[in-house]
Amino acid sequence: MKNTRIVFWALCLFFCSAEAGEGKDCVSSSVKAAYWPSIKISLMPPASINAPLYSHILYGFAQMNNHTFKLEGEKMMADFTATVQKKNPCVKTLISINGGGSNALALALMTTNPIHRAVFIKSAIALARRHAFHGLDLDWEFPTNTTEMENLGNLFSEWRHAINLESRSSGRPPLLLTAAVYYAHTFVIYGEHRSYPTASIAKNLDWVNVMCYDYKGSWDTSATGAHAVLYDHSSNISSSYGITSWIESGLPPEKLVMGMPLYGKSWVLKSQNQTGIGAPAVAAGPKQSTSDESGIMFYSEITDFVREKHATEVFDTESVSAYSYAGELWVGYDNPDCVAAKVKFAKKRGLLGYFFWAISQDSNWTLSTTALESWDKYL
Ligand SMILES: *[C@@H]1O[C@H](CO)[C@@H](O)[C@H](O)[C@H]1NC(C)=O
Ligand SMILES: *[C@@H]1O[C@H](CO)[C@@H](O)[C@H](O)[C@H]1NC(C)=O
Ligand SMILES: *[C@@H]1O[C@H](CO)[C@@H](O)[C@H](O)[C@H]1NC(C)=O
Ligand SMILES: *[C@@H]1O[C@H](CO)[C@@H](O)[C@H](O)[C@H]1NC(C)=O
Ligand SMILES: *[C@@H]1O[C@H](CO)[C@@H](O)[C@H](O)[C@H]1NC(C)=O
C-alpha cells in the first residue's frame, strides 16, 4: 500500500505537476466556475467539457443516504477529475451535495444532531478524497427557518474543523468548502423569515455560490419576466440587491461568487403586439428538445430559436437582461452583453468571481468565453 503510494507520487511529480490543480503554475486568485449536472451526462460527457474556460467545476450532485446520513458516490465520479484535468491541469473539482429539488428535509434532520453531522462530514471528506476531488459544496435549497440556519452554521464549523484535521494528518492541502445559497442573505418563503449564518460562513467556508437567477418562472404565467436581472428599481428581486444584502450582512465580498444562468425562462405571449418585459402572457413556453421542461430554454436552444425563427433580440440596459421573441414565443435570458456587464459588476464590487448553472447549456461556449474574457479585461 505504502509502496504504491510512493510510486504514485513519484509519477505524479512528472505527470500531474505536484498535485494537479495545486502546482505553482496553477495559482488562481479568482473563481470562474460552472456546475456540471451528472444527470445530463448525455448532453455533455466529462471529456467534452471545455475545461480551460473554468477554474473550478462542480460535479452535481451527490446525495446523502437519509438512513445512514452518509454521502453516497456515483460511478461517474471516479474518473471525473482526471478527465477534466486532461484539458486543464489547473482546474479544480468539487462535489456538490443535494441540489434543487432534492431532499431538503433529510438535510434538515441530519443537521439537528451532532452525531449525524459527524457521520455526514466524515463520509463527505472520504468521498472527495477517494475520487480526487479538491472540495465539497453544499446546495441545500433551502433551510426553512432560524433553527435550521443555526444548525447549518454548526455544520460548517464542524466541517471546517474536520477538513483541517484531515489536511494535517494526510499532509495534503485542505479540501475546499463552499455552499450554494439563495440570492439574498435574508429572505421570506411561505411567511417564514430566515437569515444565513454569516459569521460561520465567513469563518468556515472558502466562498458561497450566490444563485442570482430564477427570479421569475412558470409559477406565474400571467406575464413575461426577466429571471436574472442585475437591477430592478421597483423591487428587491435583483442580483445587485441580493449581492449587496450579503455584503451588508458582514460577509467579505471576496467570499462571494455570483451566479449566472446559462438558460432562459419562456412564456407564450397573449398578444404579439405586447412583447416587452412584463407583457401579458397566457402560459409557460413549450418544452424544448434538450431542456425538456416547459418554461425553460437552454442558451443553446435560444440561439437556435433566434437564428431559425429570425426572432427579435433586445438587450435591456436598465435591468441588464436580454429577451427574444418570434410569433407567440418569448424568452428572457442572459446574452453576452448581460454576462459582460454582470462580470464587470462582480469585479467592481470586489467579488471573488462568478459561476454558471449549468455547463451543458451554453451555446458553443459563448457565454463562458465572454465571462472569462470580461473578467480579465476589467481591472
Ligand atoms: C428517504 O429516502 C427515500 C428514498 O430515497 C424516500 O422515499 C424517503 O421519503 C426519504 N425519507 C425521508 C425522511 O426523507
Ligand atoms: C424549523 O423547522 C423544523 C423542520 O425542519 C421544525 O422541526 C422546527 O420546529 C422549526 N423550528 C422553528 C423554531 O420554527
Ligand atoms: C427592500 O429591502 C429593504 C431593506 O433592505 C426594505 O427596507 C424595503 O422595504 C424593501 N423593499 C421592497 C419593495 O420589498
Ligand atoms: C396589433 O395592433 C394592431 C394595431 O393596433 C391591431 O390591428 C392588431 O389587431 C393587433 N394584433 C394583435 C395580435 O393583437
Ligand atoms: C464555435 O466557436 C468557434 C470558436 O469561437 C468558432 O470557430 C465556430 O465557428 C463556432 N461554431 C458555431 C457552430 O458557431
Cα 264 to Cα 217: distance, rounded to the nearest angstrom = 9
Confidence band for 173, pLDDT divided at 50, 70 and 90: very high
Among protein residues, the one whose CA lies closest to atom 4 of ligand 1: 66
* pLDDT of 20 above 90: no
Max distance between CA atoms of the chain, in angstroms, equals: 73
pLDDT at 224 over 90: yes
Contacts of 48 (CB under 8 A, 6+ apart): none
Average pLDDT over residues 208-231: 98
CA angle 375, 378, 379 (to 5 degrees): 115
Contact residues for 25 (Cβ-Cβ < 8 A; gap 6+): 17, 90
- C-alpha 148 to ligand 2 mean position (Å): 7
Ligand 5 centroid distance, CA of 303 (Å): 13
Residues 249 and 198: beta-carbon distance below 8 Å: yes
- Is 176's pLDDT higher than 70? yes
Dig out the grid coordinates for 374 from the structure. 470580461
Pocket test for ligand 4, best of 273, 274, 328 (most atoms within 8 A of CB): 273
Name the residue with the closest Cα to ligand 4, atom 7.
Answer: 273
On average, the pLDDT of the chain sits at: 94
How far from 332 is each of 19, 272, 279, 320, CA to CA, in Å? 42, 16, 12, 11
Residue labelled with grid coordinates 416547459: 294
**Secondary structure class of 284 (helix, strand, coil):** strand
Provide DSSP, 137-191: EEE-S---SHHHHHHHHHHHHHHHHHHHHHHHHHTSPPPEEEEEE-SSSEEEETT
Coil, helix or strand at residue 248: helix
CA 64, CA 222: separation in Å to the nearest integer?
38
Residue range 14-261+335-377, CATH number: 3.20.20.80
How many residues are given for the chain?
A: 379
Average pLDDT over residues 175-195: 96
Q: Are residues 240 and 286 in contact, defined by beta-carbon separation less than 8 angstroms?
A: no
Which atom, in ligand 2's list, is nearest to the CA of 192? 14
- 273 alpha carbon – ligand 4 mean position (Å): 6
Distance of CA 216 to CAs 126, 139, 173, 230, 283, Å?
A: 38, 20, 40, 13, 13
Across 22-48, average pLDDT = 89
User: Is the separation of the CB atoms in 375 and 278 below 8 Å?
Assistant: no
Per the DSSP assignment, residues forming a β-bridge with 58 are: 35, 94
Give, using CA atoms, the residue closest to atom 8 of ligand 2.
147
Whether 301 is a known active-site residue: answer: no
Mutate to test the pocket of ligand 2, among 145, 193, 195 (most ligand atoms within 8 A of CB): 145
pLDDT digits (tens, 9 = 90+) for 2-14: 444 444 444 444 3
Q: What is the pLDDT of residues 325-349, one digit of tens each?
A: 999 999 999 999 999 999 999 999 9
pLDDT top residue among 125 and 22? 125
Residue type, 128: A
**Mean of pLDDT values over 263-281:** 98
CB of 327 closer than 6 angstroms to any ligand 4 atom: no
For residue 144 and ligand 2, the question of a CB distance below 6 A is answered with yes
How high is the pLDDT of residue 127? 98
Give the pTM.
0.92
Mean pLDDT confidence for 105-132: 98
Q: Where are the domains of the chain?
A: 14-261+335-377
271 lines ligand 4 (CB under 6 A): yes
- Cα separation, 148 vs 328, in Å, equals 43
At 23, the pLDDT band (50, 70, 90 cuts) reads low
Best residue among 98, 103, 140 to mutate for probing ligand 1's pocket (most ligand atoms within 8 Å of CB) is 103
